[in-house]
Structure 1
Amino acid sequence: MKTPHLTRRELLAGAGAASAAALTPAPAVAATEGPFSADWQSLASGYRHPAWFRDAKLGIWAHWGPQCQPEWGDWYARALYQQGRNPWDQGETAYENHLRRYGHPSRTGFLDIIGQWKAQNWQPDYLVKKYQRAGARYFVGMGCHHDNFDLYASKNHEWNSTRVGPKKDILAGWSKAAREAGLRFGVSNHSGHAWHWYQPAYGYDAEGPMRGRRYDAYWLRKHHGQGKYWEGLDPQELYTGPYYVAPPGIRTIKEMNDWHGQRDGQWLEGIPAGNIAFVDKWLKRQKQIVEDYKPDLMFMDHAGVPFGNYGLEAVAHYYNQAVAWHGSPDVIMTGGILDSFAQRALTWNVERGVLDDIHSPPWQTCTCIGSWHYDRRHFDNNSYKSAKQVTQILADVVSKNGTLLFNVPVRGDGTIDEKEEAIVDQFTSWTQRNGEAIFATRPWHKYGEGPTKPPPAGAFGEDKQKPFTGEDIRFTMRGDTLYAIFLDWPQGESAIQSLGANALPGAVIERVDLIGGPQLQFRRDADALRLSVPPPQDGAFLPALRIRGRGLV
């Protein structure tokens, strides 16, 4: 998605770390049995990135839960409790949308949205098979978002999808579909931020006719559920309990938003003082996901490892479980901001961003064709990423030793819309033709060439990427074969400077083929390999060349 404004995550990251008063030191945690212990040295020394992940190159993600029900984009369960306009808002805000469609959040909050989410048209087999045809080697389902609603048969959290909402084990459905399609299965866990992320639900309108009226999280208790869909459940368990509760007397929207921004609006990853119970429960929930669903990948929505020793214990437990299952820790657990040492223990995930060179060890970028949660406005405004843009990202990431995790947003009913279907189908046509240049490849000695420079390396840089041209090329290799992927269709004669005689002295180029097309005539001089690519056929939007010879790789 092209977004001209600051993203939510950038805003939180820019707010800085939590103050010391807001966090408490991590106590010792009982260790799980196995070769890994809950310390960085043990994790880094005993872990190696598995071959399956290095070969995979492409995963597809269903970032799907009850926040998709309103079809109003990401972070709905927080944003509906925030008056005013945020930097990322365009058009009607989530608060305004909620007020118009559902009522004031003092009476109708996110708890009520969960009750409307039924997933009635969900067909996981259909979707996963579609993604398998597109080339995905792994599929990721969401276990729990910041909304604190578990999407599986949780033994430690009553607010889960088998008790209320769809009354289905969402993770079990995804897992079965993925494994029957021959894909690795992953789970994303975002729940560690729920304790601070939900706190606006305890606030109130600072302005307007409902000024001062507290939102539903502030006053709802278990007994209020009598006769309702959530009878017997405690709303405070869902909303995580009051922690940063806005005091009475705030008179302006700006003052209210500033108050939250300085507290719960930070990307907090330490143990909240006085709330060790949340962290204990978080660890139990995480361990259950691992033990019951045996994921090949755990996407952890954290900068590093959350909650100190508790987070390290979660990593050690996962790796020890993998050893028990398979004899080796052949699984992936991600982190968003990792130094070089931590990247030996975890896998660096670069959210909506790219790197500017080949990086070792293997890494992952995650992005989406629209908003993380389904947003109908992308459909209405034709603002999804195109299949061509997704393919450009894939080629760029793979050339730099990375893997792309690509989210296709799912509607509340469990389907994807027809425009998303078309994008996936167009992308599938490209991967089925050119997949040999992507899957099970390795980076060449340089990632590529061309006039278009990459944006600054790291998360949230994709919107700063300038359009690629037919002179921008990315390289991969497999065995003795070199591949060159053009990031746009070239016009006229192309000159691949990295393959000139001066750049590769001693190398001999014997044959060049357009993958899915004819053998190409070429000539090579000191400065470049020169050739002409025929016009595109059948909607092929990026050409890939197979180059063979001696001394190339």
Structure 2
Amino acid sequence: MKYLFIGFVIACMASGPVLAQQHSEQNHSKYVWPKDSLVKKKLNQWQDIKFGLLMHWGTYSQWGVVESWSLCPEDEGWCVRRGPESGNWYGYKKAYENLQTTFNPTRFNPERWATAAKAAGMKYMIFTTKHHDGFCMFDTKQTDYKITSTKSPFASNPRSNVTKEILGAFRHEGFMVGTYFSKPDWNTESYWWPYFPPKDRNVSYDPKKYPELWKKFSDFSYNQIQELMTGYGKVDILWLDGGWVRPASTIDSTVSWQRTIPYSQDIDMGRIAGMGRQNQPGLLVVDRTVSGEFENYVTPEQQIPDHYMPIPWESCLTMGDSWSYIPKENFKPARKLVQMLVDIVAKNGNMLLNIAPGPDGEWHEEAYTRLAEIGAWMSVNGESIYGTKPLAPYRQNQWAFTTNGKTRYASYLPTETETVLPAAITLPLTSTVSKETVTILGTKQVLKWKKVGNTMEVSVPEKLRQQLAGKPVWVFKIG
């Protein structure tokens, strides 16, 4: 993960500032709907569950630095080196890779994570089995740069194959589970070939000029993914990152970062997806930013589209400021996180929220607090989220709309200064039935309303206003 910008016009919450980075609108015609009936079924199931957990975790957590990117020899703000030998790339890379010998997350307890995530209302989970640095958080046979290597002190722990433990713990709680896997691998000599020092994030040689070396790397990638698809129980999603590893024919020159890709880096996604689905029928494949048949849903990163999107999509966002663990994290308030979820769902998306474990194998305690606060809202209002579809006008000012086909939900997103509902509030919806009942989720009292033009003006009694004070979002149920 890091600044893989994709084609959306993006904005933050309606009540927040617009992101400084704007992008061209996604061309929906590039999305390819899956033909496999099992993939379609799983995609529909995934779209119904709305809310998931992403975890970035690796040896980099020991230094509290950005995941992998400090190894990348690019002059970008997120590639700045911090740590031993930071003035010498070769020395830094050696020190970074030596973190394997001290990584010992003895507080690792995935059951606690799964329990907290379930209580928050999350229903799927994606775990980073390997990031761009190449360090494997699973027991691969393709490299010794892994948590289960004898070089790693945690290898002697009976739970050292953390990917297997995490997938099992979340699967036990009823989650759909997915494996994040980085297509580029900066530790593997068939990608960053030592003969040519790397200039940037891309492969360090021309694959057309050295096809045998590229074939070696493609087979390496295939074999690692095959391990994940065959040795870790049921897997629902293969979530692939590192979108510069792609065929030249898929490079979009209108996207700035894609213009910098110097070579075709084709690892044969048809072969990979075919193998994945042979072992995991119905597997969702998410080849991020590579539009086509292997991107079953699109993934705006740290961004929320400013409008309804008719294709399957997911905003992947951080609970704090960083994808990876940092000692002092700035966690977003639960109120903001709930509003982000409501905003996303009304636009036809899912929200994938990242929490980063630390070097000891635990989250910040504040992350558990945030999840509990989100869960308190979801336990009351979840019916307006799960299994719903967006309802026109989708998002209008402070309103977000969803429906389950029978009932309509109008969610009111208060500003930071609003703590209680107005005594009279106008829902920008037209009632088709004069006897429709209106309630607020969490209460049983039927509210009085009247039709005013093409809207419904609802009266909220004072006692109810005080009872519901301070909620992150108020949901009106109409039906």
Place the TM-score, normalised by the shorter chain, in its bin.
0.7 to 0.9
Aligned counterpart for 1:154 among listed residues 109, 117, 140: 140
Paired residue secondary structure (1:476): strand
CA drift of 1:103 comes to 12
Give 2:275's aligned residue. 317
Give the alignment of 1:299-310 within 5 angstroms: 299-303=239-243, 306=246, 307-308=265-266, 310=268
Give 2:12's aligned residue. none
Give 2:54's aligned residue. 61
In structure 2, distance between residues paired with 1:371 and 1:268: 28
Are the counterparts in 1 of residues 121 and 378 from structure 2 also a CA contact under 8 Å? Answer: yes
CA drift of 1:73 comes to 3.1
Give 1:127's aligned residue. 113
2:236 aligned with 1:296, yes or no?
A: yes
In structure 1, distance between residues paired with 2:4 and 2:171: 35
The 1:522–1:421 alpha-carbon spacing in structure 2 relative to 1, beyond 3 Å, is: same
2:168 aligned with 1:182, yes or no?
A: no
Give the alignment of 1:252-331 within 5 angstroms: 260=199, 264-265=200-201, 273-274=209-210, 275-276=213-214, 277-293=216-232, 294-303=234-243, 306=246, 307-308=265-266, 310-323=268-281, 329=282, 331=283
Give 1:361's aligned residue. 311
The 1:435–1:149 alpha-carbon spacing in structure 2 relative to 1, beyond 3 Å, is: same
Give 2:164's aligned residue. 172
Are the counterparts in 2 of residues 74 and 371 from structure 1 also a CA contact under 8 Å? Answer: no
CA drift of 1:357 comes to 3.0
In structure 1, distance between residues paired with 2:339 and 2:54: 18
Paired residue secondary structure (1:347): coil
In structure 1, distance between residues paired with 2:470 and 2:404: 26
Give 1:386's aligned residue. 333
Aligned counterpart for 2:184 among listed residues 168, 178, 193: 193
The 1:509–1:188 alpha-carbon spacing in structure 2 relative to 1, beyond 3 Å, is: farther
Are the counterparts in 1 of residues 132 and 242 from structure 2 also a CA contact under 8 Å? Answer: no
In structure 2, distance between residues paired with 1:175 and 1:126: 13
Paired residue secondary structure (1:405): strand
| Residue type of the alignment partner of 1:386 | P
| Residue type of the alignment partner of 2:317 | T
Paired residue secondary structure (1:105): helix
In structure 1, distance between residues paired with 2:444 and 2:227: 53
Aligned counterpart for 2:353 among listed residues 373, 383, 406: 406
Are the counterparts in 2 of residues 271 and 279 from structure 1 also a CA contact under 8 Å? Answer: no
Are the counterparts in 2 of residues 67 and 76 from structure 1 also a CA contact under 8 Å? Answer: no
Paired residue secondary structure (1:483): strand
CA drift of 1:284 comes to 0.9
Deviations 1:67-107 (A, max 9, x none): 2121223335516x78xx84458xxx543x4459x999359
Give 2:284's aligned residue. 332
Residue ranges of structure 1 left out of the alignment (5+ in a row): 1-6, 14-39, 199-235, 247-259, 324-328, 451-471, 549-553
Give 2:64's aligned residue. 71
In structure 1, distance between residues paired with 2:119 and 2:208: 44
Aligned counterpart for 2:413 among listed residues 484, 487, 500: 487
The 1:88–1:499 alpha-carbon spacing in structure 2 relative to 1, beyond 3 Å, is: same
The 1:154–1:124 alpha-carbon spacing in structure 2 relative to 1, beyond 3 Å, is: same
Give 1:521's aligned residue. 448
Are the counterparts in 1 of residues 339 and 472 from structure 2 also a CA contact under 8 Å? Answer: no
Are the counterparts in 2 of residues 157 and 285 from structure 1 also a CA contact under 8 Å? Answer: no
Deviations 1:331-387 (A, max 9, x none): 322133254x547x6221222222233323322121111211112242xxxx22221
Are the counterparts in 2 of residues 305 and 311 from structure 1 also a CA contact under 8 Å? Answer: no
2:430 aligned with 1:511, yes or no?
A: no
| Residue type of the alignment partner of 2:226 | K
Give 2:14's aligned residue. none
The 1:474–1:273 alpha-carbon spacing in structure 2 relative to 1, beyond 3 Å, is: farther
Are the counterparts in 1 of residues 4 and 243 from structure 2 also a CA contact under 8 Å? Answer: no
CA drift of 1:65 comes to 1.4
Residue ranges of structure 2 left out of the alignment (5+ in a row): 8-30, 247-264
Are the counterparts in 1 of residues 34 and 40 from structure 2 also a CA contact under 8 Å? Answer: no
Deviations 1:454-483 (A, max 9, x none): xxxxxxxxxxxxxxxxxx111111131111
CA drift of 1:267 comes to 9.5
Aligned counterpart for 1:541 among listed residues 459, 472, 478: 472
| Residue type of the alignment partner of 2:422 | G
Give 2:96's aligned residue. 110
The 1:283–1:43 alpha-carbon spacing in structure 2 relative to 1, beyond 3 Å, is: farther
Deviations 1:4-45 (A, max 9, x none): xxx9525999xxxxxxxxxxxxxxxxxxxxxxxxxx999656
Are the counterparts in 2 of residues 335 and 349 from structure 1 also a CA contact under 8 Å? Answer: no
The 1:338–1:476 alpha-carbon spacing in structure 2 relative to 1, beyond 3 Å, is: farther
Are the counterparts in 2 of residues 334 and 347 from structure 1 also a CA contact under 8 Å? Answer: yes
What is the number of equivalent residue pairs in this alignment? 416
Give 1:449's aligned residue. 396
Paired residue secondary structure (1:393): helix
2:426 aligned with 1:476, yes or no?
A: no
| Residue type of the alignment partner of 2:184 | H
The 1:273–1:426 alpha-carbon spacing in structure 2 relative to 1, beyond 3 Å, is: farther
CA drift of 1:524 comes to 2.1
CA drift of 1:158 comes to 2.0
Are the counterparts in 1 of residues 202 and 244 from structure 2 also a CA contact under 8 Å? Answer: no
In structure 2, distance between residues paired with 1:536 and 1:351: 37
- Between Structure 1 and Structure 2, whose CA radius of gyration is higher? 1
Identity %: 20
Deviations 1:244-279 (A, max 9, x none): 427xxxxxxxxxxxxx3xxx2469999575231122
C-alpha RMSD of the superposition: 3.5
Aligned counterpart for 1:499 among listed residues 391, 411, 429: 429
In structure 2, distance between residues paired with 1:491 and 1:539: 9
| Residue type of the alignment partner of 1:152 | F
Aligned counterpart for 1:139 among listed residues 116, 121, 125: 125
The 1:266–1:494 alpha-carbon spacing in structure 2 relative to 1, beyond 3 Å, is: farther
In structure 1, distance between residues paired with 2:77 and 2:141: 39
Aligned counterpart for 1:420 among listed residues 354, 367, 373: 367
CA drift of 1:407 comes to 0.7
Paired residue secondary structure (1:109): helix
After the TM superposition, which of the residue ranges 295-304 and 41-50 deviates more from structure 2?
A: 41-50
The 1:108–1:317 alpha-carbon spacing in structure 2 relative to 1, beyond 3 Å, is: closer
